[in-house]
Amino acid sequence: MDENIKLANLEVEKFSTAKSERRAWESLWQECYDVAFPQRGDFSGLVSYGKRRGENLFDGTALDAVDQLAASLMGNLVPPFSMWFGLRPGSDVSAAEARALNPVLEKAARTIHNHFDQSNFAVEIHQCFLDLVVAGTASLVFEETPIGENSAFRFSALPLRDVVMAENEYGMLDTTYRNLILTPGQIRTRYKLSEFDSDFFGKDAQDKNFHVIESVQPNTQGYIFTATLHDSEKNKSVILTRHLMSGSPFLNFRWMKSPGEVYGRSPVMKALPDIRTANKVVELILKNASIAVTGIWQAEDDGVLNPANIELVPGAIIPKAVGSKGLTPLEMPGRFDVSQLILSDLRARIRHALLVDRLAQIDGPRMTATEILERSAEMSLLLGATYGRLQVELLAPLLDRAYNILRQRGEIPDLPLDGRIVRLDFRSPIARAQSQKQAQNILAFLQNIQSLGGEAASRVDFDAVTNHLADTLGIPSDFLRIAAPPSSPPASDIEGDLS
């Protein structure tokens, strides 16, 4: 028991240290959420879902841009109901083995994709992209469902207020803490504890809430999951510890990272001064408009006119004394027309910072193939650094965990996803932009070879070129016929050559 308490104290101490380092970010996150996504962020500790939080917002440019950028990220990285990934033979597989392995891996990729489609992945990953655009950091929980469910995967987008992260020496977010508030019944159900010390909770504690810290930390065997109960200084206990064979269930990823910082920075943080200014300008315009509509009035105190009882409505009759001026409007010194010019510039800069002017749909009804390729190349350049980080921190761990879960269930072949036997092949639209550029270079090379004549064309292995183009563009192996081996010359010709 002493060893258990010592381990629980260590877990609580590490959680408190990581949370104190996160506290410096909370005010910045709260400000970003207040101006760009007010319904999501609340770091005050008093969570109230459905609470109205946008009363002080007067300009919706940032809110609209955040929605568009999150939708563009989802469509360019993990488009729903589309094969945005594949499995390919690795570098240590021979050509003959690769031909036999391709159909098996393509079937395995379709199996994994079906589990994604039948799960709540599309719903939860979109919420994560909203957090990524606003706060620069997002967290997705990837859990395995019981046998018999429609999908083996279950996802949850964690709010930043509920998750605490820590980096390793290589800059990866491999340690995650999550603070939960559960009843004793929920604790037994969540951690599959048939019996638990009732004296720890107390006799009248069935409806009482207890704090539980879930932590996932790397060790020599992969990852270790620990659930620590800490209701007070006296009530601390590690209630569950287990090794995770299929990777960490917490997928933490960032938009951009500055050196020495654990949490990421977002495009909303970059546009925050313009968002605040645009909001203030619109507020002043509305105040000026209300003054222009109702006006500012002055009245003589003649003993008849009572300004407190005056209502400026159509058809109203306002009494006044004989010979007095009554109620007269006050002339305004000027107009606030320059605000429209300032507001247009501010909104343009907000849209540019949130990539709305680059990733939005074209207004025209049709786009040529060249225009599509150029827009894809531009997107790959704009999101190159961000996509590289998301591929390392989100896509690769996501697919690796999905592969291991289905591999342990026996639904896909028992082959290691190590890059040597089986490797990942990303097929999202933004990943295909670079592949299409490479395919264009190969086709231009073949055209130039053809123009040189038959002798130059005879040096090209068209079967190898076809296989490489199919691999580059993600074409299924069923579309390709297996090339027949070169036929050997007749024996009489061989004897004649020897003679």
Report the alpha-carbon distance of residue 29 to residue 32 in Å, rounded: 5
Q: Which amino acid appears at position 361 of this protein?
A: Q
Residue with tokens 């130039």: 448
Can you say whether the dihedral through the CA atoms of 462, 465, 471, 472 is positive or negative?
Answer: negative
Instruction: With beta carbons less than 8 A apart as the criterion, state whether 72 and 359 touch.
Output: yes
**Coil, strand, or helix at residue 145?**
coil
Q: What is the pLDDT of residues 368-417, one digit of tens each?
A: 666 666 666 666 677 777 888 899 999 999 999 999 999 999 999 999 99
Q: Measuring CA to CA, which residue among 409, 125, 85 is closest to residue 253?
A: 125
CB 393 within 8 A of CB 253: yes
Q: What is the mean pLDDT of residues 208-225?
A: 88
C-alpha to C-alpha distance for 299 and 282, rounded to whole angstroms: 31
Rounded alpha-carbon distances, angstroms, from residue 279 to 51, 285, 402: 21, 10, 43
pLDDT at 213 over 60: yes
Q: Do 61 and 350 contact (CB within 8 A), yes or no?
A: yes
CA distance 94 to 248: 32
Lowest mean pLDDT among 62-71, 256-265, 328-337: 328-337
Task: Domain ranges for the chain, please list them.
Answer: 2-52+117-265, 269-355
Looking at 214-223, 278-287, 447-456, which range is the least confident one?
A: 447-456
pLDDT band at 48 (very low <50, low <70, confident <90, very high): low
DSSP lists the bridge partners of residue 230 as: 236
Residue 89 class from Cβ within 10 Å (0-12 exposed, 13-18 middle, 19+ buried)? buried
Tell me the per-residue pLDDT of 7-37, one tens digit each, with 9 for 90 and over: 888 888 999 999 998 999 999 999 999 999 8
Distance CA 108, CA 30 (A): 43
Q: What is the pLDDT of residues 352-367, one digit of tens each?
A: 899 887 654 545 556 6
Say how far apart CA 478 and CA 456 lie, in whole Å: 30
pLDDT of residue 145: 93
Q: What span, in angstroms and rounded, lies between the C-alpha atoms of 293 and 287?
A: 10
